[in-house]
Structure 1
Amino acid sequence: MGVEKLISDVRLSSVVPATITGDDKVHEFTNTDLIMKLHYIKCLYFFKNDVVEGLDIHDLKKPMFQLLELYYHASGRIRRSGGGDDGGRPFIKCNDSGVRIVEAKCRNKTIDEWLAMFMNDASVNEELVYDQVLGPDLGFAPLLFIQFTWFKCGGMSIGLSWAHVLGDAFSASNFLNIWAQIMAGQLPPQFLKKPTITNKFINSPLLLSPVERLPFFIKRVDPVGDHWKLTNTCKMQSHSFHITQKQLNQLIFKGCGTKVKPFDAICATVWKILAKVRGKYSSEPNIVTIIRRDDKSCDRKTTEVSSNGQVISIIEANNVIVSEADTSKLAKLIAEKVVNETRVVEDLMKKENGTSDFVVYGANLTFVNLEEAKIYDLEVRGKKPIFASYNISGVGDEGVVLVLPGPKNLNGKEGGRIVNVILPEDQIEGLKNEMREA
């Protein structure tokens, strides 16, 4: 049965903030927000039937009215300063246009059957998270979609499609976690206070040297106008690996040394493997991008409900043949030789007036550390999801590797890490074969 036949009975509706936001309120994007404009975060959670039994769409939508009082900018629509179609800097007009709710059914598969398919073909999960792109009618496009899909077994998945221009993966996770807290009646009243809007990019005190070249971690693309969609030069494919805790320990102790962190060990292993795969027909990836959580902003205040606070760094493997290097050497490079390029964005986008179009994920081979994302903190009726997964759409041709916390119990396997990759289609099979050996 084709994937297109697995999902049916799709219905769309909207939710708006519980109270009117007010006239003439806007949310200005930061420069880091705008450099992420062509990327979208896809969040997916699965809950068993005993957790969601008796819940209907009204129960699920009701907390969102309060949630959007806090995230009222997510209910707005994008406009441009100066009134130009493609020349003005984008911002959000906080006009309470709402976020989209998607209801769907999977009548032919249980959650267990779906997850079994997912471990063989990660693309099936795309059916459970709405395929969102901002534009071409940019002024009318919702900034996020939340999809609830009920399965044959009575279980349910929650899929969030979140425009990266709103904030990073940690912001998207916080959004859903707060929704669940409101639904459980557990959220303290102070969390429902509206944040103060600040124009973060205007009159910035940060003074940097002029940008003489594009930083290595981004790639300029042809102007997209009001259709914020990346066009790849090759077909991209997604795949997912579950590295159990036992396998992870073996990977660290045998290949990298006991002091290496799990993320660094995984990145080093995948980097070396992809260098082998790509080296057969093109040059090795000697420069990679690392995207991590900004520890200084990880405990975000209520007034900073969402932001692109991640740290973007690069690593150059100078005078190193990556495909032949010891994994421990690559892991050490990742741990010790990263160059933080995040601050370069401020000067670059100020010079461009926030109107140029770039790719970050996939400009180089990109590794994203989501180990500390609180994706298993989302609880419905006091129960955590049996499985959760995050992904990115709008990825450049060099590909992206996301490292996530592993499930508590998936087919009898506990913990470890989930590794989601999006790569050119012709590299996936080689990666799968090499990963089995590793």
Structure 2
Amino acid sequence: MSSSAAASNRVAVHSKLTVVSDTPIDPGKTYPLSTLDHAMALHTLHLIFYYRYDRRDDDLGRLRHSLAEVLSQYPPVTGRLRRRPQDGNWEIKCNDAGVRVLKAKVAATLDEWLSAAAPGGGGCEEMDLAVWEDMPDEPNVWSPFRVQMNDFEGGGLAIGLSCPHMHADPTCATFFMKSWTDMYRQASLSHPPFFHPPGLRGRETPKTNTKSAKYYESKSKMETPVSLKMSTATFRFSEKTIKNLLSDIHNRCPDATPFEVLAALFWSSISNFKTHVGNQPCSSISICIDIKKRMYAPLPHGFFGNALHFSRVSCNLTEMHEGVLDHLTAQIHDHLSNLDEEEFWSAIEWLESKKSAEGQLPPPFTMYGPELTFANLEHVQAYAAMLGNSKPVHVSYHVGGVNGEGLVLVLPSPEDGLGRTVMVTLPEGEATKLCEDQAILQLEPTILLTNR
């Protein structure tokens, strides 16, 4: 059931079915989840791809058939979760049980939905376009991957893809969606899945005295904040705006990326309005990056599972109060530039060092929080997931289980180049304040799907 069902009745699910793969799986096949997969157990992923696409009557059959075809390439997606008897860790029983598919109608046009949403709904109402469902205590018959196809009035389609974060990180889930649309277009898979959980297993001689290991240690001991109702705002910045921002800070940080300057901008703005209402500014943030291509032996794009690394950047209160954009950008850039492979391995090895005597991995803790977290997703190929000749007009990424100060995702935009989309999830009411922040508004972003 959608977490925002009370906020909106514009999305009506009218049918459900199960899609299984075209090719049967060999009996007894299992797929163990990796150390990093287990670490994400408190979170879920929800991707929504919007298409200005007038679906013909036979297209649903084609979409279903192409989904069945691509599932043959992704056995873990159709399987079911279970605990391994020997150590209690999670694995997937690849049993062809299939993927749950829901069909829904939206009482709005695509443009109405993206530009305004319902009063009081906005970014939260968008969650109705994907499935939000807690994993049951006994998940052996539960479909971890769920798809919701949403038809808009007058044409337009939104496809919501949901799964436990244990199964996939945002990059992995995006490539699954792209593989599906490749099959729909009868094209070869651009990045076939690569199944190899040991690809991110700790080394024989672990090292757990790095900054990253110490950060994960402290993170595991943080108290889980009281669960708050969260709100979401989406900002789209043009390529011209990003170029101007990078030009403004060029003297101080000539190699800055769009992610780094946008993270600095939103870090400063969020801290400023927290200070104005008497709260503590965010003197430190957590940064999440994809590490597949930062390893000495890079993992393929199609690596199936989680390949995320979290680290902390801090700033003293005086610097935060001044909010100098080039200073904060340089701090973030220097931090990310100095993260090496040793840090990535040490985080994995710290998690593995906490195994029980029986080999069970440690209980999960909140990764997206409790401090304000920035995730760099500007590399995801969301707009390459084309239906026919139509690429998405917008793609949203939501993470379930966000706690504490909030989450900021930096994503690509529909146009090629340096344009970026920023999705911000904050405690209720703070997203509205952010939409009124002059440092952001002067950049003239397009604001979408926002609780206003």
The alignment's TM-score, normalised by the length of structure 2, stands at 0.83
Q: How does 1:103-182 map to 2 (within 5 A)?
A: 103-106=103-106, 108-118=107-117, 121-182=122-183
The alpha-carbon distance between structure 1 residues 200 and 95, as it changes in their structure 2 partners (threshold 3 A), is farther
The alpha-carbon distance between structure 1 residues 359 and 380, as it changes in their structure 2 partners (threshold 3 A), is same
1:319, distance to aligned residue in structure 2 (A): 6.7
2-structure distance, mates of 1:318, 1:408: 37
- 1:249 maps to 243
1:66 equivalent among 59, 66, 69: 69
- 1:275 maps to 271
The alpha-carbon distance between structure 1 residues 272 and 93, as it changes in their structure 2 partners (threshold 3 A), is same
Q: What SS does structure 2 have at the residue aligned with 1:321?
A: helix
2-structure distance, mates of 1:275, 1:373: 28
1:364 equivalent among 371, 383, 387: 371
- 1:218 maps to 219
Q: What SS does structure 1 have at the residue aligned with 2:310?
A: strand
Residue deviations 1:333-362 (CA, integer Å, cap 9, x gap): 000124645334323322133240211112
Are 1:417 and 2:416 counterparts?
A: no
Are 1:264 and 2:271 counterparts?
A: no
1-structure distance, mates of 2:407, 2:190: 39
Residue deviations 1:256-283 (CA, integer Å, cap 9, x gap): 6573321111110111111112224232
2-structure distance, mates of 1:40, 1:169: 10
Paired amino acid for 2:389: G
Q: Is the 8 A contact 2:44 2:401 kept in 1?
A: yes
1:115, distance to aligned residue in structure 2 (A): 0.7
Paired amino acid for 1:264: E
Are 1:102 and 2:102 counterparts?
A: yes
The alpha-carbon distance between structure 1 residues 160 and 231, as it changes in their structure 2 partners (threshold 3 A), is farther
- 2:448 maps to none
Paired amino acid for 2:289: R
- 1:14 maps to 18
Q: Is the 8 A contact 2:206 2:346 kept in 1?
A: no
Greater shift in the superposed pair: 324-333 or 239-248:
239-248
- 1:226 maps to none
Q: What SS does structure 2 have at the residue aligned with 1:343?
A: helix
1:17, distance to aligned residue in structure 2 (A): 2.0
The alpha-carbon distance between structure 1 residues 256 and 268, as it changes in their structure 2 partners (threshold 3 A), is farther
1-structure distance, mates of 2:425, 2:189: 39
Q: How does 1:322-333 map to 2 (within 5 A)?
A: 322-333=320-331
Greater shift in the superposed pair: 264-273 or 293-302:
293-302
List gaps (5 residues or longer) in structure 1: 223-229
1:310 equivalent among 303, 308, 311: 308
Q: Is the 8 A contact 2:43 2:401 kept in 1?
A: yes
- 2:446 maps to none
The alpha-carbon distance between structure 1 residues 65 and 317, as it changes in their structure 2 partners (threshold 3 A), is same
The alpha-carbon distance between structure 1 residues 321 and 301, as it changes in their structure 2 partners (threshold 3 A), is closer
Paired amino acid for 2:367: V
Q: Is the 8 A contact 2:79 2:94 kept in 1?
A: yes
- 1:408 maps to 415
Greater shift in the superposed pair: 383-392 or 195-204:
195-204
Residue deviations 1:374-408 (CA, integer Å, cap 9, x gap): 00101111221122222212112121100111223
Are 1:239 and 2:233 counterparts?
A: yes
The alpha-carbon distance between structure 1 residues 119 and 292, as it changes in their structure 2 partners (threshold 3 A), is farther
Greater shift in the superposed pair: 336-345 or 274-283:
336-345
Number of matched pairs: 419
1:16, distance to aligned residue in structure 2 (A): 1.8
Q: What SS does structure 2 have at the residue aligned with 1:139?
A: helix
- 1:376 maps to 383
- 2:450 maps to none
- 2:288 maps to 291
Greater shift in the superposed pair: 364-373 or 138-147:
138-147
- 1:225 maps to none
2-structure distance, mates of 1:335, 1:214: 19
Q: What SS does structure 2 have at the residue aligned with 1:408?
A: coil
The alpha-carbon distance between structure 1 residues 286 and 344, as it changes in their structure 2 partners (threshold 3 A), is farther
Paired amino acid for 1:261: T
Q: Is the 8 A contact 2:285 2:314 kept in 1?
A: yes
2-structure distance, mates of 1:190, 1:391: 23
Q: Is the 8 A contact 2:194 2:300 kept in 1?
A: no
Q: Is the 8 A contact 1:407 1:415 kept in 2?
A: no
2-structure distance, mates of 1:110, 1:307: 35
The alpha-carbon distance between structure 1 residues 203 and 233, as it changes in their structure 2 partners (threshold 3 A), is closer
Q: Is the 8 A contact 2:194 2:304 kept in 1?
A: no
Q: What SS does structure 1 have at the residue aligned with 2:271?
A: helix
Q: What SS does structure 2 have at the residue aligned with 1:395?
A: coil
Q: Is the 8 A contact 1:32 1:345 kept in 2?
A: no
The alpha-carbon distance between structure 1 residues 329 and 77, as it changes in their structure 2 partners (threshold 3 A), is same
Q: What SS does structure 2 have at the residue aligned with 1:268?
A: helix
2-structure distance, mates of 1:256, 1:399: 29
- 1:75 maps to 78
Q: What SS does structure 1 have at the residue aligned with 2:42?
A: coil
Q: What SS does structure 2 have at the residue aligned with 1:82?
A: coil
Greater shift in the superposed pair: 119-128 or 308-317:
119-128
- 1:387 maps to 394
The alpha-carbon distance between structure 1 residues 210 and 95, as it changes in their structure 2 partners (threshold 3 A), is farther
2:347 equivalent among 324, 345, 353: 345
Q: Is the 8 A contact 2:258 2:418 kept in 1?
A: no
Q: Is the 8 A contact 1:28 1:199 kept in 2?
A: no
Greater shift in the superposed pair: 255-264 or 201-210:
201-210
The alignment's TM-score, normalised by the length of structure 1, stands at 0.85
Q: Is the 8 A contact 2:124 2:232 kept in 1?
A: yes
Q: Is the 8 A contact 1:100 1:144 kept in 2?
A: yes
Q: What SS does structure 2 have at the residue aligned with 1:433?
A: coil
1:322, distance to aligned residue in structure 2 (A): 1.1
Are 1:431 and 2:428 counterparts?
A: no
The alpha-carbon distance between structure 1 residues 187 and 165, as it changes in their structure 2 partners (threshold 3 A), is same
